[in-house]
Amino acid sequence: MGAPHIGLRGEEIHVAIDDTAILAGCSFDVVPGEVLGLIGPNGSGKSTLLRTVYRAIRPTTGAMWIGEDDVWNMTARQSAQRTAVVTQSASTDFQFSVAEMVLMGRGPHKGLLDRDTAHDRRVVAWALRAVDMTTFRSRVFATLSGGEKQRVLVARALAQESQVLVLDEPTNHLDAHAQLDLLELVRSLGLTTVVALHDLNLAATYCHRVCLLDRGRVVGIAPPRTLLTREVLRDVFRVDGEWLTSPTTGRDHLALTRPATSTTTDTEKP
């Protein structure tokens, strides 16, 4: 991937769909080389904010910067040269092989008349090695397990040789091992990364900092342990939480419980 020294910055991002505000002025920044976790309850706007990064949704107002460039002043192709996306597990009826899937990552660098070059095929080999999927290269993508598919999509993102990596809930539908495995891989890449995550413990373990969204607003951006206090967990997620340190690994984990005072009428948010 090009210079890993380029950061990402969102400025006062507003998104309204059919006059309903989904995002109400979100500002955040990702330091070069940092993994930023995007967390928040369902409907808080995580996916929408990510989609404004990779041009799937145009913000009503606000700007998204990659380094010095405004994402929304680029063409779709220029944007894809700078930002690679791992979407929620892609399913397809079309029987693309793993190698073909990863080769598609070269697409944003190709003109209409360009053929695949030896260089492209070497980048594919490198990307497959980076995610440890070399031996899967001749398999049909659709037949892989969820975790294997996600690794291939990360390889495709690497083959794009972009500066920013975006992942939208990449651990959905993965078993416990595959979840840890994938985030370990993402963290080890050392790229400027934004990842939306549901699981607070995964976010706490693998993100340098987390950005907490609630009803379309940024509640705060800080290291997980600093941001996810008892009060924040109760206000935003409506759970009681407590940080525990593992006696074996020394790592911090969040233990979550449903508040005793919670009644069924509380489950509807105002």
Which spans of this chain sit near another protein (rule: CB under 8 A)? 1-2, 4, 17, 54-56, 75-81, 84-85, 87-88, 90, 92-97, 99-100, 102-105, 107-108, 110, 112-113, 116, 118-128, 130, 134, 137-140, 142-143, 158, 160-161, 188-191
| Residue number with CB closer to another protein (182 or 200) | 182
Minimum distance from residue 97 beta carbon to another protein (Å):
5
Locate all alpha helices (DSSP H) within 174-213, ordered by sequence: 176-189, 200-206
| Residue number with CB closer to another protein (67 or 107) | 107
DSSP the chain: ---TT--EEEEEEEEEETTEEEEEEEEEEE-TT-EEEEE-STTSSHHHHHHHHTTSS--SEEEEEETTEEGGGS-HHHHHHHEEEE-S----SS--BHHHHHHGGGGGG--TTPPPPHHHHHHHHHHHHHTT-GGGTTSBGGGS-HHHHHHHHHHHHHHTT-SEEEEESTTTT--HHHHHHHHHHHHHH--EEEEE-S-HHHHHHH-SEEEEEETTEEEEEE-HHHH--HHHIIIII--EEEEEE-TTT--EEEEEE--TT--GGGGS--
| Residue number with CB closer to another protein (13 or 101) | 101
Helix (H) or strand (E) holding 146: helix 146-159
| Residue number with CB closer to another protein (69 or 252) | 69
Minimum distance from residue 56 beta carbon to another protein (Å):
5
Minimum distance from residue 129 beta carbon to another protein (Å):
8
Minimum distance from residue 55 beta carbon to another protein (Å):
6
Minimum distance from residue 110 beta carbon to another protein (Å):
6
| Residue number with CB closer to another protein (112 or 260) | 112
d(CA 11, CA 100): 37
Sign, CA torsion 213/219/221/222: negative
| Residue number with CB closer to another protein (44 or 52) | 52
Minimum distance from residue 84 beta carbon to another protein (Å):
7
| Residue number with CB closer to another protein (137 or 217) | 137
Beta bridge partners of 20: 17
| Residue number with CB closer to another protein (26 or 123) | 123
Minimum distance from residue 88 beta carbon to another protein (Å):
8
d(CA 46, CA 250): 30
Minimum distance from residue 191 beta carbon to another protein (Å):
6
